[in-house]
Each structure stands twice: as C-alpha cells, then as structure tokens.
Amino acid sequence: MASVYGNIYSFFIGHHLVVVLNDYHSVREALVQQAEVFSDRPRVPIVSLLTREKGIVFAPYGPVWKQQRKFSHSILRHFGLGKLSLEPKIIEEFKYVKEEMQKHGEGPFNPFPIINNAVANIICSLSLGQRFDYTNSEFKKILNFMSRGLEVSLNSQLQLINICSWFYYLPFGPFKELRQIEKDITTFLKKIIRDHRESLDAENPQDFIDMYLLHVDEEKKNNSNSSFNDNYLFYIIGDLFIAGTDTTTNSLLWCLLYMSLNPGIQEKVYEEIERVIGADRAPSLTDKAQMPYTEATIMEVQRLTVVVPLSIPHMTSEKTVLLGYTIPKGTIILPNLWSLHRDPAIWEKPDDFYPNRFLDDQGQLIKKETFIPFGIGKRVCMGEQLAKMELFLMFVSLMQNFTFALPKDSKKPILTGKYGLTLAPHPFNLIISKR
C-alpha cells in the first residue's frame, strides 16, 4: 500500500482513523520528535476491560504510566547486574534446554515447546523468583493460561466486545470462557503476590515482586496519593509475561531456523564462539564485545523477521501536523517496523540474509540508528536490555553445543511468518548433532 499511497497513509476501521508510518523518517519524526503527542495508546474496549488501563504496555500516556514504567525499568536494570543478575539463571535454564533437546537423539523435533518453556521460566525467575520443572503442574498452568488467554482474546466473536462492551458479560460461549480465564489468572497471580507479601524480607529482596512490594511500603509512608499498590503490581506482572515471552521465544526460533537454512553462517558463528569462549566454558555477557559476528547475526535475524511487525499501536493525544499531514487527536498510529527494516533506501538487497551488513571493514559491529526492532521514543520496549541478554546467552549456548539442520526430507520452510500478536515462524522441525 505504501508503494501506491506513499510512506504515510491512512484508512478507517469503523469510525477510527488509522495512520500507518512506513519508513524510518516518519516513525522517528512522530515517536521521537513529537513524542509528547504520539505516545498514548488507543482505548480498545476489550483491552481496557482486561487491563483496567493499568500495567505498562496498554496504560494511557500520563503521570501514572511514567512513574510505573520508570520504577519497573529500574528493577529490570537490577537483573542485569549484582546479586539478582539473571545471567546465571539463563545459563542454568540452558542446561534443561540441552537435556530436552538431547532426548530426541538424531530424530527430528519441534523446538517450540522447549524454547517457550525456557523463556517463560526466565520470566518466572525474574518476576516470581523461581523456575519450574517443565513437567511441573503449576508451570503448565501458567503456560496454559497464557496460550488460552491469547487464543481466546483473538477469537473473532470476542471482537464484538469492541463494538458493544456489555457483550463481555454474556453468560455463554467465548465470553464466559474469557471471564473464566481472567478469573483463573487473577486467582493464581494474586496468590503468588500474597505469598511474597507474607515472606517479604526488606533486607533481602529476591525478585521483581519483592522489590515492587518494598517500594509500595515506602510510598505508603511518604505519599498518600501514590499509584503504587499490590493491585497495580498484578497488572505489571501480567505485562512482563505478555510482552516478554512470545517475543523472545519467536526471536530465538527464527535464529534457529535461519541458522539451519544457512549452514555457512552457522559455522562462522561457531568459529567465533570457539575462538572467544571455547567449547566448555558457559558464555557470559562480557564475551559479547569480542563477538561482533555473532551479534551481527542475531541482529540480521531480527531485522528480517521483526517479531513485533506493527509495533504496539500508538495514539495521538492532540491534533498535530506530521510531515505536512494534519492528524487529528485520537488517531491510531501504526509504526510499521517490518517495512522500515526492509526499506531498499536504507538496506542494500533488503531481502537477503547478510549479517555482514552490520560489520565494518575490520569486522567490528556498526550500530545503525535505523535498526529499531524494539521501537523508539518514550514507549520503546522496556525489556530491550533484558531481551538482548537472553537472546545472546541462549543463542550462543545453543550454537556452542549443537549443529542445527532441517530434516533431509522436509519441505523448504515458509519464511513469511504467522501473524498473531507477534510474528512467529510456521511450525518447523529440526535435527541436531552434538558439537
């Protein structure tokens, strides 16, 4: 559509005006240069009913979102370093991934459940302070809630709630099921938060929930109007699971798929791992600076696959003019991250898989400002650092231990992806051989 109508075009969904921004220039102009106007989220009735406009991802732009994001972001930063560092937890989680993969011997297997379990467990470690065995019934319950929740909210009948919100209360079919799932998730997470409250040790916070609860207590002493409370925490934990699981799982799956399709590049990544880390030591984030080829490979997979292709919708909070176009207040804005990462004006041969585009003549990494799979501006992904840490440590561990290939008789996989909330690869099988 951009090739017919230009890089900024609009259409209506019902009576809602939607503007799509297709190139880096317009996305940056809106989300960075005019951040104050372009950082709100649309009010979608089904989303508002489920989130009560709390949490971070779908919260309206304003002081409450700002306070909650700033504090949550500072907690996430703690997990990069110090006592709460997630690095050993990710390395520990990889041991289970390895064990599970080895169970398949030389036979083909679908890597999705293993990677999904591992990524979900990392979010569990971070937010709840514990990992679960893959066969644990509590863990299966969490995973099941997430997939059922997403499946049900994408159900077409439920979209009727967006036209008329009282449909949400209908006592049958998917409406009833949605309310039941919401109730189950609430009971489950609220119990975990209550348990944390009871065992809270101010001197020794263990996880995200502990650190948030301590802040709630602190705020209660000093600020009677504080937005920090146990109920708000519940929505933030939900956001960490929603925003952090599918995205990272699919990015890792795409990495495995691209490595299987490009054995020459897989070999070069392995050579770098062998040279910098060796075959036995577990990777560490401190290795990253010496591994530009590996980093460039992960970035190139992210560029081609863009797991959040239309970002998360934004909304204008005022009438404004963007690059000559008048955009009314309340317009839904879709930053098309997918198209800007394939823009031939920025990326030479944009459809080719070519990690070297991120390297200079000396083989050093080039940071490109037009590479923005995590978005830009005030709403930029809050988990960007964490996601990069997970991607690097998991990807390097996988490549260090196994060679990945497609089964001999398999059809060539479709690389366009399957669009749900994120862009996932179509299911595929792999075979592994031990390094």
Q: Is 93 in the site for ligand HEM (CB under 6 A)?
A: no
DSSP-derived letter for residue 405 is E
Among 34, 121, 311, 331, binds ligand HEM (CB under 6 A): 311
Among 86, 124, 128, 386, binds ligand HEM (CB under 6 A): 386
What are 315's strand-pairing partners? 40, 332
Q: Using alpha carbons, list the distances in angstroms from residue 299 to 25, 56, 296, 303, 327.
A: 20, 26, 5, 6, 33
Long-range contacts at 41-48 (CB < 8 A, ≥ 24 apart): 41/312, 41/313, 41/314, 41/315, 42/16, 42/313, 42/314, 42/315, 42/332, 43/315, 44/162, 45/161, 45/162, 45/165, 45/168, 46/153, 46/158, 46/159, 46/161, 46/162, 46/168
| Distance in Å, CB of 181 to ligand HEM, minimum | 21
| Distance in Å, CB of 401 to ligand HEM, minimum | 21
Q: Is 308 in the site for ligand HEM (CB under 6 A)?
A: yes
| Distance in Å, CB of 202 to ligand HEM, minimum | 24
Pick 174 or 335: Cβ nearer ligand HEM:
335
Q: Interacting stretch for ligand HEM, rule CB under 6 A, among 137-145, 210-218, 274-282, 376-384? A: 376-384
Contacts of 179 (CB under 8 A, 6+ apart): 168, 169
Q: Is 382 in the site for ligand HEM (CB under 6 A)?
A: yes
Report which residue type is found at 155: N
Among 56, 181, 299, 315, binds ligand HEM (CB under 6 A): 56
Residue 119 to residue 385: CA distance in whole angstroms: 15
| Distance in Å, CB of 96 to ligand HEM, minimum | 19
Residue 203 to residue 206: CA distance in whole angstroms: 10
Q: Is 118 in the site for ligand HEM (CB under 6 A)?
A: no
Q: Is 374 in the site for ligand HEM (CB under 6 A)?
A: yes
Chain position whose Cβ is nearest to ligand HEM: 383
Q: What size, in residues, is the chain? A: 435
Which residues between 240 and 259 bind ligand HEM (CB under 6 A)?
A: 240, 243-244, 247-248, 251
Helix, strand, coil % over all residues of the chain, rounded to 5: 55, 10, 35
Q: In b/e form, how buried is each residue of 181-205, taking b as 16+ CB within 10 angstroms?
A: bbeebeeebeebbeebeeeeeeeeb
| # binding residues, ligand HEM (CB under 6 A) | 24
What are 8's strand-pairing partners? 21
Q: Is 125 in the site for ligand HEM (CB under 6 A)?
A: no
Q: Interacting stretch for ligand HEM, rule CB under 6 A, among 45-53, 88-96, 306-314, 342-350? A: 306-314
Q: In b/e form, how buried is each residue of 9-36, taking b as 16+ CB within 10 angstroms?
A: eeeeeeeeeebbbbbbbbbbbbbeebee
Among 143, 291, 381, 424, binds ligand HEM (CB under 6 A): 381
Q: Is 255 annotated as a binding residue?
A: no
Pick 70 or 435: Cβ nearer ligand HEM:
70
Pick 71 or 167: Cβ nearer ligand HEM:
71
Pick 251 or 431: Cβ nearer ligand HEM:
251
Residue 390 to residue 89: CA distance in whole angstroms: 10
| Distance in Å, CB of 378 to ligand HEM, minimum | 7
Q: Interacting stretch for ligand HEM, rule CB under 6 A, among 10-18, 180-188, 267-275, 303-311? A: 303-311
Joined together, the tokens standing for residue 362 give 């000396």
Q: Interacting stretch for ligand HEM, rule CB under 6 A, among 185-193, 264-272, 338-346, 381-389? A: 381-389
Q: Which residues lie near ligand HEM (CB under 6 A)?
A: 56-57, 69, 239-240, 243-244, 247-248, 251, 307-308, 311-312, 373-375, 379-383, 386-387
Q: Enumerate the known binding-site residues.
A: 381
Residues tagged in the binding site annotation for heme: 381
